[in-house]
Amino acid sequence: MGTEHGLTRRHMLAMSAAAGSFVIGGGYRDAVAQAGKRIERLDPALDQIIDISEPIVDIATNLGGTANVEGPLWWKEGGYLLFRGTDQRRWKYTPGQPIAPVKDSNWANGLTRDMQGRLVACEALTRRITREEADGSITVLASTFKGQRFNRPNDIVVKSDGAIYFTDPWTAAEAPGETDMTYCGVYRISPNRDTLTLLVDDFLRPNGIAFSPDESVLYINCSARRHIRAFNVAPNGTLLRQTDRVFADLSGAESGGPDGMKVDNAGNVYCGGSGGLYIMDAKGKRLGRIVHGFNNTANVAFGGDDWKTVYFTTRTSLGSFKVKIAGVPVPVVKKS
Question: Alpha carbon 271 to chain centroid distance?
Answer: 10
The reported pLDDT for the residue numbered 62 is: 74
Question: How many Cα atoms are found within 13 Å in the side-chain-facing hemisphere of 72?
Answer: 30
Kindly state the DSSP code that residue 61 receives in the 8-state scheme: B
Number of helices (H), then strands (E), in the chain? 2, 27
Digits of tens for pLDDT over the chain (336 positions)? Answer: 333 333 333 333 333 333 333 444 433 333 344 458 999 999 999 999 999 999 999 999 877 667 789 999 999 999 999 999 888 889 999 999 989 889 889 999 999 999 999 999 999 999 999 999 999 999 999 999 999 999 999 999 999 999 999 999 988 778 888 889 999 999 999 999 999 999 999 999 999 999 999 999 999 999 999 999 999 999 999 999 999 999 999 999 999 999 999 999 999 999 999 999 999 999 999 999 999 999 999 999 999 999 999 999 998 899 999 999 999 999 998 776
How much is the pLDDT for 318? 95
208, 259 contact by CB (below 8 A): yes
Which distant-in-sequence residues (6+ apart) come within 8 Å of 324 by Cβ?
48, 49, 50, 51, 308
**3-state secondary structure (DSSP) of residue 305:** coil
Check residue 8 and give its pLDDT.
38
Q: What is the pLDDT of residue 336?
A: 60
Helices marked H in the chain — which ranges? 9-17, 28-35
List the domains of the chain with CATH numbers.
9-322 (2.120.10.30)
β-sheet with 100-104: strand ranges across = 70-75, 80-84, 89-93, 100-104
What is the model's pLDDT at position 35?
A: 54
Residues 113, 115, 119: CA angle, nearest 5 degrees: 25
Contact 124, 110 (CB under 8 A): no
Q: Which residues are paired to 144 by β-bridges?
A: 149
Q: Which of 311, 312, 270 is nearest to 295 (CA)?
A: 312
